[in-house]
Amino acid sequence: MNSHRADVVIVGGGIMGAATAFFLRKRGASVILLERGLIGQQASGTNFGNVRRMGRPVEQLPLSNRSRESWLKFKELFGEDVELLLNGQLRVGFTPEHEERMATYAQDAKDFGMGMQMMGGKALRERFPYLGPDITAGCYAPFEGHANPRLAAPIIGRAAVREGAQVFENTEIVSVEKEGEDFRVNAADGRTFRAPVALITAGAWGNLISTSFGEPVPMIAKAPQMCVTEPVPYVIGPSIGALIDDPDQLVYFRQVARGNIVVGGGGHELADIENRRAYVNPRRTLLKLKNAPRVMPAFNRLSIIRVWSGIEGYMEDSRAVMGPSARVPGLYYAFGFSGHGFQLGPGVGDVMAELIHTGATTTPIEHYHISRFAKQAMQAA
Amino acid sequence: MGQSRVIVVGAGPAGVRCAEVLVAAGIKPILVDESRRDGGQIYRRQPEGFTRSYPSLYGTEAERARALHQSFESLRSRVDYRPETLAWNIYDRQLHTVSAGVTKALPFDALVVCSGATDRLMPVKGWHYAGTYSMGAAQIALKSQACAIGRQVVFAGTGPLLYLVAAQYVKAGAKVAAVLDTSSLWKRVRALPKLAARPRVLLNGVSLMRTLRGAGVKVVTGIEPVEIHGSDEDGVRGITYRSQDGATHRVECDAVALGYHVRPETQLADLARCEFRFDAETRQWLPTVDQDGRSTTPGVYLAGDGARVLGADGAEIAGKLAAWALLEDMGHPVPDAERAALRREREAMDRFRQGLVEAFPWPAEQAARLPDEAIVCRCEAITAGELRRVVNQMGACEANRAKAFSRVGMGRCQGRYCGHAGAEVVAAAAGIALEKVGRLRGQAPVKPLSMAVREEQE
């Protein structure tokens, strides 16, 4: 039988798993990375692509800032270009309440280096003349940006391979077991993978594995509802999101260098994790088409050429599960990033590698420990 | 039980015959069609006010065209006909349509997709220059608007349309600079026994050749297109091809019509979540249907060239068979004898279809020889070299992976025009079978959707 062994086995080849594999290799650990499909195919490859800190909970900003260091030297670190555009991030609002929310956040997060500037409607339209007349206020963060999610995780995966990680794609995992001092990961085709340390970065499927170790978490799989316009001259600059009170009415967009505008929002559908299927509901596409021109009226002159979705793991409290298992020594988790993991990816990899390698991390992640669900798990048991 | 909600997409030969059978059974289907008038591509009607005769428009098929148009006219008050309406999505048993800036969700109990076919295209260096048209577009310009695509037109590629459209141009008085066929005469001779399954159609083909010869048109077989010459400013100037003896030749022209037979338009089947199977004979993925057009999605039927390319009269039969399948599934009686006869008739057509596939094969081997600088995906301007790079350096050996990395098939046509060739380039670069490359996942909208659309309830 085909058996492989390493210091660490990582289950799930999204951006979290790929980045951890990379940084573990940088620290000299041998690594096996297992992926059911291809690297970065689900949430990592189909998300909107924001590389932003603004809007994240304040307690997440140290992690986000650590990730930013990797994004800023992405090509140098991982060897290929990821179409990173750092032309800022803009949030816009339509009501005094929106303005107050943005101002509060700008104040709360002022120490994290984002350089956020509150702007009134007039100033916004002077600087970004394409914005609609209903916008009354905005918050601009000049150093944020976006990148191409279809490329990011695969690039990091290839970098990990170059660093010596053993990456196995198209490897369906049926179970992860503790066997003596080792974890044994069993593939559907009979191959086994062993290591004294296991990291679960299985995204929307993470809960299936944590549950098998007695640590179920409240999580659902959602399908983001993306669409993209035909290419038009590059003018927009920042990645723009509108504050809207009903999540279904949400709309955000970014223009890539070649000109297409990616439009996200419109709420979510539930994804089918068993069959690995996620669909775009046309009702949600139409919601975005209705709401996007309110932010930028010129949308009414464009067409969308394609929609897509993927499978994202959402925690009930929108906080990822990240850190060591509360029950099993040597077991670690990093999944459930609830639709905001893309920017965090390289930082999570860096932090998890540090945690696994040294037993501690210089970036606080206690907030994400799986033990917060232990009470629920007890009740369920 | 209320009236069953039945939608037919497409008012070409398959859609009209399908609607006719449904109406006779007491159903009033919604008939959605993208065109301004009925007839589909093959029996496309000229705009109102144009006065060309049936024989001048449809040649040997004038009577069939007239019969289909008349059938449609007599149906018109008994179907809910919606011309100039694009079916852009299918979701949750609703067909999403858009017309004149208004989008509607039409619930259905049964849906018959008669979406027709478009040209199958193999890229050639320079095919992005203005003045390169698909064979179908060249024909539409003539049939609909009485326009030629250029003053000196080269027809290149292979397939029956190559000769048909070139002959139509000759008859219309346009200057045909050359007809360049990638298939060899020998392949056509070898396919004769199968082509003889439909003697009348075969004779029509021979007569097209005669028309071309009579007009002194240069017809060369067994060629390989090398390059379409031109510039971004002035468009097409000429085409270079390699003849069977390996020599290269240049023909001056200001327009090229390009096509390699046709391929089914399958996005709606894809959005209806129908299963597809790989057809090794024609090297493409086709929706799985039973002999009458039932797809793998209950209540969704596929008929005509949109499911399997049998030509216009095959589509008329397929439309009827799909309608009967639908009626049968809804518990209506169907005429068994008539159905059996049509199924038999279609078998002969299928033999002829195989003959065409052999006589005018898809030149898959050209994909491997495309120069790196040739554009494969015209929407996104991605070259063969870039596509090969994502295969060789990034390990993208699957169609959707190669699309994600290179953007081939990611543009406004979503791979409808470059998908087949792109897959061949990937297969050749990766050294794997085409089937292993898989199939591009279709996504809504079927064609670009204006963001200014308004939603209306039906």
CB A119, CB A105: distance < 8 Å: no
DSSP B457: -
Whether residue A330 is predicted with pLDDT greater than 90 in this model: the reply is yes
Q: What is the rounded distance in angstroms from the CA atom of residue A95 to the CA atom of residue B247?
A: 72
pLDDT digits (tens, 9 = 90+) for A236-273: 999 999 998 898 999 999 999 999 999 999 999 999 99
pLDDT digits (tens, 9 = 90+) for B255-277: 999 999 999 999 999 999 999 99
| B6-118+263-332 and B365-437 have identical folds | no
Domain-wise residue ranges, chain B: 6-118+263-332, 121-260, 365-437
Tokens encoding A26: 């940088």
Partner residues linked to B94 by β-bridges: B91, B107
CB pair distance less than 8 Å for A281 and B103: no
CB pair distance less than 8 Å for B443 and A308: yes
Q: What is the rounded distance in angstroms from the CA atom of residue A123 to the CA atom of residue A241?
A: 17
pLDDT digits (tens, 9 = 90+) for A162-201: 999 999 999 999 999 999 999 999 999 999 999 999 999 9
Which fold, B365-437?
A: Arc Repressor Mutant, subunit A (1.10.10)
Mutation for A interface: B382, B397, B407, B449, most A CBs within 10 A? B449
Alpha-helical (H) ranges within B150-287 are 160-171, 185-190, 192-195, 199-214, 267-271
The structural domains of chain A, ordered by start, are 3-49+150-217+316-380 (3.50.50.60), 86-143+221-314 (3.30.9.10)
Q: What is the rounded distance in angstroms from the CA atom of residue A75 to the CA atom of residue A59?
A: 28
Residue B192, Cβ neighbours under 10 Å: how many?
Answer: 12
Query: How many angstroms separate the Cα of A358 from the Cα of each of A4, B172, B412?
Result: 24, 81, 50
C-alpha A381, offset from chain centre: 31
> pLDDT truncated to tens, each residue of chain B (458 aa)?
457 899 999 999 999 999 999 999 999 999 999 999 999 988 999 888 888 899 988 888 899 999 999 999 999 999 999 999 999 999 999 999 999 999 999 999 999 999 999 999 999 999 999 999 999 999 999 988 889 999 999 999 999 999 999 999 999 999 999 999 999 999 999 999 999 999 999 999 999 999 999 999 999 999 999 999 999 999 999 999 999 999 999 999 999 999 999 999 999 999 999 999 999 999 999 999 999 999 999 999 999 999 999 999 999 999 999 999 999 999 999 999 999 999 999 998 999 999 999 999 999 999 999 999 999 999 999 999 999 999 999 999 999 999 999 999 999 999 999 999 999 999 999 999 999 999 999 999 999 999 999 999 98
DSSP string, B134-152: EHHHHHHHHHHH---S-SE
B412 and A CB contact within 8 Å: yes
Min Cα separation A184/chain B (Å): 28
Question: Could you tell me the CATH superfamily of domain B121-260?
Answer: FAD/NAD(P)-binding domain (3.50.50.60)
Sheet with strand A303-308: strands edge to edge: A117-120, A137-141, A89-93, A239-242, A251-255, A261-265, A226-229, A303-308, B449-450
Q: What are phi and psi of B366, to 5 degrees?
A: -65, -30
Give the mean model confidence (pLDDT) for residues A331-338: 98
CB pair distance less than 8 Å for A303 and B105: no
CB pair distance less than 8 Å for A289 and B89: no
Q: Which of B401, B411, B443 sits opposite A307 (nearest CB)?
A: B443
Burial of A135 (0-12, 13-18, 19+ CB in 10 A): buried
CB B279, CB B286: distance < 8 Å: yes
Instruction: Round the average pLDDT of chain A to a whole number and report it.
Output: 96
Is the ipTM above a cut-off of 0.90?
A: yes
Q: Which of A230, A282, A293 sits opposite B444 (nearest CB)?
A: A282
pLDDT at A380: 56
DSSP string, B51-88: ---HHHHHGGGHHHHHHHHHHHHHHGGGSEEE-S-EEE
Q: Which of B96, B105, B453 sits opposite A289 (nearest CB)?
A: B453
Nearest Cα to Cα of residue A185 among A13, A359, A344? A13
CB pair distance less than 8 Å for A304 and B451: yes
Parallel, antiparallel or unpaired: strands A145-146 and A50-51 = antiparallel
CB pair distance less than 8 Å for B452 and A300: yes
- Which uninterrupted H or E stretch holds A357? helix A345-358
| CATH architecture observed for domain B6-118+263-332 | 3-Layer(bba) Sandwich (3.50)
Which residue, chain included where needed, has tokens 């490329």?
Answer: A151
Mutation for B interface: A161, A305, A308, most B CBs within 10 A? A305
